[in-house]
Amino acid sequence: MTLQQGLAFGLVGLTIAAFIWGRFRYDVIAVCALLAGVVIGAVPADKAFDGLSNDITIIVGAALIVSAAFARSGIIEAVLRPLTPHLKTERSQVPVLTAAVMALSTATKNVGALAILMPVALQIARRTGSSPSRLLMPMAFGAMLGGVVTLVGTAPNIIVSQLREQLLGKPFGMYDYAPVGLGFALIGLVFLSLAYRILPTGRAPAVNIDAALAANAYFTEVEVPDDWNPAKSRIADLHAMAHDEAQVMGLRRAGRRISRPHPNTKVRPGDTLLLQGEPQALDDLIKRARLRLTRAHRPVVMEQPTEEVRVLEVVVSGESGLIGRSAQQLDLYGQHGVNLLAVSRSGYSLKQHLNRVRLRAGDIVLLQGGERSLPGALTTLGLLPLAEREMRLGGIRHRIAPAAILAAAMILVAFQLAPVAVAFFGAAVLVVAVGSIRMREAYAAIDGPLIILIAAMIPVSGSIETTGGADLIADALSAIFRGQEPIIALISIMAVAMAATPFLNNAATVLIVAPVGASLAQKLSLNPDPFLMAVALGAACDFLTPIGHQCNTLVMGPGGYRFSDYARLGAPLTLLILILGGPLIAWFWPLTAV
């Protein structure tokens, strides 16, 4: 072992130990490791920042933006809506929701697919009395399994594809993972559809800030358009459309106000409706029924043409000038350039015109305005912003554009008409340009810690390969596996990736293990492709802890899970994937010598 190899091994070893210790953030550990590598000479100074320009970083960042735009489109909820009333028991809910998130994960990043369908699952659970803990973990595992089917479904697939190009001269294609990935997904779907029963029931979900804020019902006003559809003309039809999660609390017609109109009351063009519900339920009803916010015709005042429209939740402070006065009296729009969209008052039901409601201290209101003018208006009016969360009440939702752009990018990659990085970078630019996602939302969609982790770990893990350390490890392993069945070496590499992922993060695992796997295959005179495939799929299948993968972390609070619950369902699934996965990979990617 040379000095440079020793330094590289020491650097990566200490980095892994820091990851396992868990005392510091992954991204902080990665950048500290990069700095240390430059200082000790394990990472050349002129290569230290190559990770920022690497195709892996570009593809992951672009895929996150496109996934976020796809999630905001609402197209998946629209497709599933006719099916959800028929899902009345856990026996039907688990396989259908798991299959749906698997299918969506093949087209968009798996954590994004899960985030899209989680509200649907929670809504079904509330309506049918099912336990969210029986639904969410199978969906999280399904999202991970669905993500391994295509190149862009999960970060390990993207990273391994680019590493294959560096090692062998050609990356994996968009659907090269599909034969094995579909097998993994089918195995997982059958298992999860039966084994979900071992999960606990009746667990109280942890309440995060968004859930706490959503518990407050808002009141907003909408107008019925002139082209109103007579087929949905009763109040009861609107309640059914909203699954009773939004209610019509009042109706105003020709100057006459009706409080709590009867369900059979006809809704006519020109009517003004007072709606009550959580922001998401209100937004869904407004979009589905094609209603229009009463202030939608008033354009937001912009100081600069590059400004974006924002919707903020704010609370009326005890010193606010709004107390005892209405939006109409204060002329919020004329004097401050902001629109009052909705009001929430604990324990109180509004029955009057929204613009005439006399506000009180503690009221929560939704204000719409330009991103430059809103801060000044809040200060002048004595309003305090709440924890920021996504609010899109009455906003424009592009349903077709994100799906069409994503499909075009996947086709370009599938037919090798454009490199993956170029295709998905172009897709990210287009979804912003057509307004499917705002630039501020695009920045928020990019997982900064993940991008920094990948960019820093590329040169750090690369030090093992550039110094010949990967070959050194491969020589030692080849001495162990030489003379044995090649499938044993393949399964062992996949087991290493599976075991390391909960502690290292799947991206870091792939960057470290994949070069070793490829070198081992070459030392054994075997095809490197199945070994790279085993590393990618093993790193993507983290079913044992809530911390190794974002999908597992995402469902922990809403499902009320404990740390040990993951191993209860995940350990047998991991063993099943390990036993069947090796032969499945070898079937489609022969281990024959190259």
- Closest residue by Cα to residue 120 from 282, 243, 205: 243
For the stretch 201-254, pLDDT in tens is 877 665 544 554 455 677 888 888 887 776 667 888 888 887 777 888 888 887
Q: CA-to-CA distance for 18 and 205, rounded, in angstroms?
A: 31
For the stretch 334-382, pLDDT in tens is 777 788 888 887 666 666 677 778 888 888 888 877 777 778 888 888 8
Q: CA-to-CA distance for 247 and 219, rounded, in angstroms?
A: 9
**pLDDT interval class at 530 (50, 70, 90):** very high
Out of 330-334, 348-352, 429-433, give the one with best mean pLDDT: 429-433
- pLDDT at residue 181 tops 80: yes
In sequence order, the 6+-apart residues with CB closer than 8 A to the CB of 141 are 98, 188, 192, 543, 551, 569, 570, 573
Instruction: Evaluate whether 552 touches 542 at the Cβ level (below 8 Å).
Output: yes
Cα-flanking dihedrals φ and ψ of residue 169, to 5°? 95, -5
The backbone region for 468, taken as left when phi is positive above 0, alpha when psi lies in -120 to 50, beta otherwise, is left
* Confidence (pLDDT) at 18: 86
The residues pairing with 310 across neighbouring beta strands, listed in sequence order, are 369
Instruction: Evaluate whether 63 touches 410 at the Cβ level (below 8 Å).
Output: no
Predicted structure pTM score:
0.72
Instruction: Evaluate whether 516 touches 470 at the Cβ level (below 8 Å).
Output: yes
Distances (CA, A) of 481 to 4, 489, 528, 578: 27, 6, 15, 18
- pLDDT at residue 533 tops 80: yes
The residues pairing with 221 across neighbouring beta strands, listed in sequence order, are 274
Domains of the chain: 3-204+445-588 (no CATH), 217-277 (3.30.70.1450), 309-385 (3.30.70.1450)
Average pLDDT over residues 386-405: 66
Tokens, residue 166: 């560096």
Cα-flanking dihedrals φ and ψ of residue 404, to 5°? -65, -40
Which alpha helices (DSSP H) does 169-222 contain, by range? 178-195, 209-214
In sequence order, the 6+-apart residues with CB closer than 8 A to the CB of 502 are 542, 544, 545, 547, 548
For the stretch 38-84, pLDDT in tens is 999 988 999 899 888 888 788 878 888 887 887 777 777 777 777 87
Tokens, residue 430: 């287009």
204-210's contacts with Cβ under 8 Å and 24+ in sequence apart are 204/560, 205/132, 205/557, 205/558, 205/559, 205/560, 206/556, 206/557, 206/558, 206/560, 207/557, 208/557, 209/387, 209/389, 210/387, 210/389
Average pLDDT over residues 106-123: 81
Host H or E run for residue 8: helix 3-21
